[in-house]
Amino acid sequence: MPTIATDGIAEDKIRHPTKKLTISEEVAIEMVAVHKWYGEFHVLKDINLTVNAGERIVICGPSGSGKSTLIRCINRLEEHQKGKIVVDGVELTSNLKNVEIIRSEVGIVFQQFNLFPHLTVLENCSLAPIWVRKMRKAEAEEIAMKYLERVRIPEQAAKYPGQLSGGQQQRVAIARSLCMNPRIMLFDEPTSALDPEMIKEVLDVMVELAESGMTMLCVTHEMGFATAVANRVIFMDFGEIIEQNEPHNFFNNPQSERTKLFLSQILHH
Partner 1 sequence: MSDTAKTYKIGQHPDLPPPRTEVGVLGWFKHKLFSTPLNIALTLLAAWFLWSVIPPLFEWIVLDSVWTAESRKECWGKMEVPEGGACWAFIKDRLELFIYGFYPAPQRWRVNLSFVLLIMAIVPVLYDKMLARKFGLWYSVAFPFIAGWLLVGGFGLTPVETDQFGGIMLTLIIGVTGISFSLPIGVLLALGRRSKMPVLRIVCVMFIEFIRGVPLIALLFIASTMLNYFLPPGTVFDLLLRVLIMVTLFSSAYIAEVVRGGLQAIPNGQFEAADSLGLTYVKAHLLIILPQALKISIPGIVNTFIGLFKDTTLVLIIGMLDPLGIGRASLADAVWAGLAREVYLFIALFFFICCFSMSRYSLYLERKLHTGH
In the complex, which residues of this chain contact partner 1 (CB under 8 A)? 75, 77, 100, 103-104, 106-108, 110, 112, 114-118, 127-128, 131-132, 160, 162-163, 176-177, 180
43 lines the binding site for ligand ATP (CB under 6 A): yes
| CA gap 255, 249 in Å, rounded | 9
Distances in whole angstroms, Cα of residue 145 to Cα of each of 121, 124, 181, 189: 10, 11, 14, 25
Indicate whether 69 belongs to the interface with ligand ATP (CB under 6 A).
yes
Round to whole Å and give the CA distance between 50 and 71: 13
Instruction: Kindly state the smallest distance separating residue 186's Cβ from Mg ion, in Å.
Output: 12
Question: Judged by CB under 6 A, does residue 66 bind ligand ATP?
Answer: yes
Report which residue's Cβ sits closest to ligand ATP.
68
Binding window for ligand ATP (CB under 6 A); candidates: 58-66, 115-123, 163-171, 245-253: 58-66
Residue 103 CB, shortest distance to partner 1, in Å, is 4
Query: Is residue 114 a contact residue for ligand ATP (CB under 6 A)?
Result: no
Task: Give the end-to-end CA distance of the chain in Å, rounded to a whole number.
Answer: 20
- CA-CA distance, 187 to 199, in Å (whole number)? 14
Is 73:85 a contact under the CB 8 Å cutoff?
yes
The item of ligand ATP, Mg ion, partner 1, none sharing an interface with residue 63, based on CB under 5 to 8 Å by kind, is ligand ATP
CB-CB contact of 144 with 179 (8 Å): yes
Q: Which residue number, 192 or 249, has a Cβ lying nearer to ligand ATP?
A: 192
CB of residue 3 to ligand ATP, shortest distance in Å: 25
3: contact with ligand ATP by CB under 6 A: no
- Answer yes or no whether residue 64 interacts with ligand ATP by CB under 6 A: yes
User: Which residue of 65, 68, 75, 169 would you call a contact of Mg ion, by CB under 5 A?
Assistant: 68
d(CA 212, CA 262): 31
**Encoded amino acid at 119, one letter:** L
Contact partner at residue 265 from ligand ATP, Mg ion, partner 1, none, CB < 5 to 8 Å by partner kind = none
Judged by CB under 6 A, which of 67, 183, 232, 258 binds ligand ATP? 67
Tell me: does residue 161 bind ligand ATP (CB under 6 A): no
Q: Distance (Å, rounded) from C-alpha 60 to C-alpha 220? A: 6
Amino acid letter, 101: I
Q: How far is the CB of 34 from partner 1 (least distance, A)?
A: 19
Give yes or no for a contact between 250 and 75, defined as CB atoms under 8 angstroms apart.
Answer: no
CA distance 150 to 179: 11
Residues 6 or more apart in contact with residue 10 via CB below 8 angstroms: 200, 204, 207
DSSP state at residue 223: H
State the residues that interact with Mg ion by CB under 5 A.
Answer: 68
Contacting residues toward ligand ATP, per CB under 6 A = 38, 41, 43, 61, 63-69
